[in-house]
Amino acid sequence: MYSPTILIEAMINGLLTGAIYALIALGLTLVYGVLHIINFAHGAILASAMFAVWGLNVLGGIDPYLSILFLAPVFFALGYGVQRLIIGPAAKDDDGNILLITLGLSIFIENALLAGFGSDTRSISSDFSFSVVEAGPFLISSPRLVGFAGSLVVTALLWFIMSRTDAGKAIRAVAKEKLGASLMGIDVGHVYALTFGLGCAALAVAAGLLMPTFYVNPRVGGAFVNIAFTIVVLGGMGSIPGAMIGGLLIGLVESLSGLLLGESLGQIGIFIIFILVLLLKPTGLFGAKA
């Protein structure tokens, strides 16, 4: 029905988009893996990061990619603060509070964005947004290629932090055995905040990579967060390579099933895979055994 050229281009599109999905899922999987909380505010934080990228571009003329350098540390600090000042204290009394806190945070951020920016959909437009790389018969979107590369770099960086640095080792120790880690002198509260901060920083990077091709409005997080949850479960909760492979796989499946079954049914392919994984390997592709 479709020529091989179209099928291949759809696959390329899927992989490129999947890498961005992976980056969004990365923060979610990290926070789940370490703090064991499902962060419902993930989408709203992404939306606020996208607004920040948009704002820097429109008001300060700063390139979306350049703004990552500034926003990643800012969002890291914000995430660190939110965990330390809001989520952490709430979790002390009852773990169940956290779900409500993150849900409340999500509603708060969304409405703050609505009050601040209004409901309009906004985008950044530059010549680069429309540029393509011609590879033989394929037209590959340049911003998506940059997004793909950026996403791989962040994943590698995060993997390096987790496996090679003291902070990473502390995070892994807390994820594995909270009490044991604290007995060994690890400040668990600090590690939690560090993890939440890293998750938010990853979202800031994703926002910078998304904005040249996507639009932002206060509810935009919803478009990505469901897919991010699916990737987290698929890749294995808490697994960094799992998030990347899961993201690429979901991007690929969504793209191909969207092309073959129709865009509205593109989700079906994803959920078939999702259910299969839950049935055959409930811990996800890269998840540790429970």
Partner 1 sequence: MTLVETHLKRRTILKGGAAALATLSAPAVLRAAEPAPIKVGILQPVTGALAQDGEYGRLGAELAIEDINKAGGIKSLGGAKLQMVFGDARSNPEAGTQEVERMQEEGVIGIVGGFASPICLAASQAASRYDLPYLVDVGVSDQITGRGLKNTFRFAPGFSICTAAAIQNLVRINEAAGKPAKTVALVHEDGLFGSGLAKLMATELPKYGFEILDQIAVPTPSRDLSNVTLRLRSLNPDLIIPSTYYGETVLLARTMQQQRVRPKAVYAVLNGAASNRRFVAEFPEAAEGVMDCNHWYDPRNAKSQAVQARVEAAGKPYNYNIPLNYSSVGLLADALERAGAAERGKVIEALNTSTFKDHLMPYGETKFVNGQNMGAAPVSTQVQKGQIKVVYPSDFADAKPMFPANG
Choosing from 17, 39, 230, 239, the residue that interacts with partner 1 (CB under 8 A) is: 17
Which residues fall within 8 angstroms of residue 130, CB to CB, at 6 or more apart? none
| 156-215 positions binding partner 1, by CB under 8 A | 213-215
> Is residue 53 exposed (0-12), middle (13-18) or buried (19+ Cβ within 10 Å)?
buried
Smallest gap, in angstroms, from Cβ of residue 109 to partner 1?
14
φ, ψ of residue 288 in degrees (nearest 5): -75, 155
> Which tokens hold the place of 38?
């499902």
118 sits near partner 1 (criterion: CB under 8 A): yes
121 sits near partner 1 (criterion: CB under 8 A): yes
Total residues contacting partner 1 by CB under 8 A comes to 41
Residues in the chain: 290
Q: CA 96, 232, 170, 77: dihedral to nearest 10 degrees? A: -80
CA distance 217 to 10: 27
114 sits near partner 1 (criterion: CB under 8 A): yes
Smallest gap, in angstroms, from Cβ of residue 219 to partner 1?
6
> Which tokens hold the place of 16?
């490129």
Choosing from 15, 74, 97, 123, the residue that interacts with partner 1 (CB under 8 A) is: 123
Q: Which helix (H) or strand (E) holds 211?
A: none
Smallest gap, in angstroms, from Cβ of residue 53 to partner 1?
15
On whether the CB atoms of residues 102 and 37 are closer than 8 A, the answer is yes
Binding mask 222-261 for partner 1 (x = CB under 8 A): xxx--x---------------------------x--xx--
**Beta carbon nearer to partner 1, 83 or 217:** 217
Select from 37, 167, 185 the least CA-distant residue to 102.
37
Chain contacts with partner 1 (rule: CB under 8 A): 2-3, 6, 9-10, 13, 17, 111, 114, 118-123, 125, 129-132, 139, 141, 144, 213-215, 217, 219-220, 222-224, 227, 255, 258-259, 262-264, 266-267
